[in-house]
Structure 1
Amino acid sequence: MMALIPILTLFAALGSGLMAGLFFAFSSFVMAALARLPAEQGIAAMNSINVTILNLSFGLAFFGTAILCLGLGVAGLMRWSDQGSLWLVSGSVLFLVGTIAVTMIFNVPLNDALAVANPASPEGAVVWTRYLAEWLPWNHVRMLTSAGALISFILAYARQAG
């Protein structure tokens, strides 16, 4: 079983990197582009993204990485004296707290509020303004913690292989 840990660590690095890249795109240009649109169009575009992102490839990267992090974090704690264990635990905590928990606690409720907003109404414009102001900073957190998890898993793998 312990021979699987380096392979699982590589998959956790890959998943963390994929998520960091996704969140980087939103932080760097996607949300800025959507913010330039009239509220009605921005809401429609973001709602479309929020629906279409729920697919197999995203699910594997997002939830699959979370499952790997649960296992790797436990393995790191149980075998604390092994090379790379600190990095396994660090990467797991970064991804589970900074990516998964932040998404569920902050980003998803904002997405849900946007989904029920009437894009053509003045209230919809207020929801959109609030959404842009609140969603993006939490996305920055997800980007940074996913990138931190990626780095941690790379360091864990380097210690395991060394």
Structure 2
Amino acid sequence: MFTLKLFTALGCGLVAGVFFAFSTFVMSALARLQPRDGVVAMQAINITAINPLFMVALFGTGAACLGWVIASLFKWHQLGSVYLLVGSLLYLIGTVVVTIAFNVPLNNALAAVKPDSPEAANHWNRYLTNWTLWNHVRTITALAAATLLTIALKLR
């Protein structure tokens, strides 16, 4: 169980790091580009982000967190269960659900934008603001989950 908790905490931290990079410099760099170029670059990023390694990190960690939610409810009396439960719920809701409910639909809408169209610049500016806001949420919740799961490791 220690090893699975460790890998779950590391998965949360890894995902937090990816999202942190986007929140702190990738989106700012893309915002400096001409809207057409920003749209093209982000469309390419969104396509390449759908790869087995990132999907396992994001959703495999989510599956592990779901298992920890269930386990912590059955072992509520054990030391560290509350950290395990709250950390796992933070990751599931603030990272996985936010990704599915907000970032993916924004990515899908951006995929439909023709970079040379007159509407591209307006769409790009709205995308930058909204996507980055939700990415901040994902970054914070994944990092908080990693922290709480690490505390749960210590309290085992």
Q: Which runs of 4+ in 1 moved over 4 A?
A: none
Count of matched residue positions in the alignment of Structure 1 and Structure 2: 156
Task: Name which of 35, 51, 54 aligns with 1:55.
Answer: 51
From 132, 146, 161, the counterpart of 2:142: 146
What amino acid does structure 1 have at the position aligned with 2:64?
A: L
Q: State the Cα distance separating 1:59 from its structure 2 match.
A: 1.2
Indicate whether 1:46 and 2:36 are aligned: no
Structure 1 letter corresponding to 2:25: F
**How far off is 1:100 after superposition?**
0.3
In structure 1, C-alpha distance between the alignment counterparts of 2:35 and 2:46, rounded to whole Å: 16
2:94 is matched with which residue?
Answer: 98
**Hey, what does 1:9 align to over in structure 2?**
5
Q: Tell me the TM-score normalized by structure 2.
A: 0.98
What is the SS of the residue equivalent to 2:45?
Answer: helix
TM, length-normalised to structure 1: 0.95
Correspondence list, 1:56-135, <5 A: 56-135=52-131
Cα shift readout 1:77-125 (whole Å, capped 9, x = no counterpart)? 1100001100110111000000000011110110000000011112111
| Aligned-residue identity in percent | 51
For 1:71 and 1:105, the matched residues in 2 are separated by 21
Q: Distance in 2 between matches of 1:114 and 1:129?
A: 11
Using the alignment, how far apart are the partners of 2:155 and 2:13 within structure 1? Answer: 19
1:23 counterpart residue number: 19
1:137 aligns with 2:133: yes
Mapped to 2, the partners of 1:119 and 1:77 lie a distance apart of 49
Give the Cα separation in 2 of the matches to 1:38 and 1:134: 18
Structure 1: where are the runs of 5+ without partners? Answer: none
Q: Which whole-Å CA distance do the structure 2 matches of 1:59 and 1:18 have between them? A: 12
